[in-house]
Chain A
């Protein structure tokens, strides 16, 4: 009953609500795990004496981030990351919902494993955790997995991890079959043969470093194929982490045709480029690879225009023993949940994008792709909120990360913006002063 609910009011905050486009002073009232009211005068009618009042001191209050691309080590590789540590890293970074990739051991290709991740996430993760189901059994790229049963069990979307589905007929049938359940199919567009053995962007730098490289065409070819198959089947396609400017025209054409297609970009590809590889820094060895500065600028423009729909962390924690190796032997991947927000905010601080558009690409839009109600401050939405000091300057020290693995190409960078408080389902789970609250 409403009367018995513990109410919390946030006052004196800069409210950022991508659903309404509002960015300005305001107030928010939450209770029962939901947003009850939000807006410039949401508390104009006053509030009960026992309402907990939080004075935001003018800091930004926005929906918690929704990250559709997170790898976790559990089950199978708990030395990389567990469901508990990934949840802590997430809420410390302002991410309140994570979609976990299916490339665990065992692969999440069965309804029972979807259920396992959901339960384990509820028990151990501070952030909301939903698994992506595997598109193919064991990610073999050949045998369709039980998409319908996993969708019923609660899989958020379907993905083949970073493994390509090279058989176009299999890809066609997957997209087609998924339409029966209105399921979102997320695929990494990368030709496995063109990229085989490659470690970084193909270009002058890779040539000088003598490092095997991955041409941008590897992405163009598969993106075009998958867009064509989405048109053929009517499937819902998410191009997962595009990295190259050359992919954008085909994406734009597909959207103009009215296809149900979308694309994500990793925060790394928006804020770093191939020169960050420098002298063989394996922490900048990422998949997709960091591309040229022209690619990076084009991707920022595409996020601003909405052509690229969402920004993801691409969180892929790798222990030191996988990274402290010669460049071509090191693993791909970086731990990224905790730098997603500050790295994204650098784009706003440097004037590349409006704050509201940036936030929308990490909150409302990914939530909409999942058909989930979070990512907005609309009454009735889950009270997943973050209070952010947008201007806080700091030098990023990867050793302070909560993730089990501290591999980050941003180590030592000057950044601005940090999360002060994170609320999930109406409960505070993280406070920058006191740490985790559960």
Chain B
């Protein structure tokens, strides 16, 4: 299948070697990635899902935290682009035996991968790795810092549903404090011209969050008024036991998305969630499963196309032997 670049932007080579955080990108680069991804969407729905763009390249998925959807999304994206994909998860690696992150980096580097997708529980881990290896590094989530491909696929999902991101009002609801998804999304969506609102209890908001350029609401009903998109964040169960929030039932009462609260949103409102969901805690099943409302499956679908585009863009920097093709 022939991939046709749909915009002139997409033809310009991608400037960056790594994709570590949204704030490294400018608006045109973000739009470029989205345009490249859009071109892959029909392909991911086709019968033959294999290209040879990355033939001969090696993609390593290095996951220090458990992940099902992100890891398999990158794996599929790599395989569809023709790369050889190796999955390394913490349980089967020597990290469990006490190896430091930099030791792992040096070991991996000696194997000459071309693309390294990393997820780690510490903020800044992807940056640290990027300085120590010679291949492209893609941050698949570092601590509470960023998850850039999630934000990009969220924007792509909105674009596919609304035709544009510019001018949308997007509410990001829940545990903003611990969310790398929220941080990446606020930066990207604001850059793309959306108005972003953050909704959650004060204990789950970072201090000085009002300086992020988003409007902050502690009253969910007020915050959802006239929004086009309600993006729910996952609240980890251990944070609902009286540390940050008194109980799951109080959380659901005030911050869980149900039909009643959603009725205040704009007509045609869409629901998003980066997954995995806590049904009955942050979102009512009735809503999560409503195909008229929910873009949650679309997010997963867009994830593969977006990651193919990211791999393609970064691979322009060549392979790990340092020779530009």
| Chain A positions near chain B (C-beta within 8 angstroms) | 136-137, 142-149, 173, 176-177, 179-180, 232-233
Contact = CB atoms under 8 A, between A and B. Distances in A.
B250 interface: yes
A149 B242 contact: no
Contacts of A232: 207
B162 interface: no
A148 B245 CA distance: 10
Task: Name which of B244, B246, B247, B250 has the most chain A CB atoms within 10 A of its CB.
Answer: B246
A378 B253 CA distance: 37
Contacts of A137: 242, 246
A232 B206 CA distance: 12
A148 B253 contact: yes
A148 B246 CA distance: 9
Nearest to B207: A232
A110 B202 CA distance: 21
Given A144-B244, A177-B245, 11 more contacts: A144-B243, A144-B246, A146-B249, A146-B250, A148-B250, A148-B253, A173-B244, A177-B246, A180-B201, A180-B202, A233-B202
Contact of B242 (A142, A148, A176, A180): A142
A145 B245 CA distance: 8
A173 to B, nearest CB: 5
A200 to B, nearest CB: 35
B203 A146 contact: no
B242 A143 contact: yes
Interface of B: 201-203, 207, 218-219, 241-247, 249-250, 253-254
Task: Name which of A137, A144, A176, A233 has the most chain B CB atoms within 10 A of its CB.
Answer: A144
B202 A176 contact: yes
Task: Report, nearest first, the 9 A-B pairs whose CB atoms are least far apart.
Answer: A143-B242, A180-B218, A146-B246, A176-B202, A144-B242, A144-B246, A146-B250, A177-B203, A173-B203
Nearest to A170: B243
Describe A's contact surface by its main secondary structure.
helix
A170 to B, nearest CB: 8
A233 B247 CA distance: 21
A143 B241 contact: yes
A173 B243 CA distance: 8
Task: Name which of A136, A177, A233 has the most chain B CB atoms within 10 A of its CB.
Answer: A177
Contacts of B250: 146-149
A145 B246 contact: yes
B106 to A, nearest CB: 38
B201 A177 contact: yes
A148 B254 contact: yes
Contact of B247 (A136, A146, A173, A179): A146
A146 B202 CA distance: 14
18 contacts: A137-B242, A137-B246, A144-B242, A144-B243, A144-B244, A145-B242, A145-B246, A146-B247, A147-B250, A148-B253, A149-B246, A149-B249, A176-B203, A177-B201, A177-B202, A177-B203, A180-B219, A233-B202
Contacts of B242: 136-137, 142-145
Contacts of B247: 146
A148 B256 CA distance: 13
A99 B157 CA distance: 52
Nearest to B247: A146
A136 B207 CA distance: 23
A53 B250 CA distance: 50
Contacts of B245: 144, 177
A394 B215 CA distance: 61
Nearest to A172: B203
A146 to B, nearest CB: 4
Nearest to B218: A180
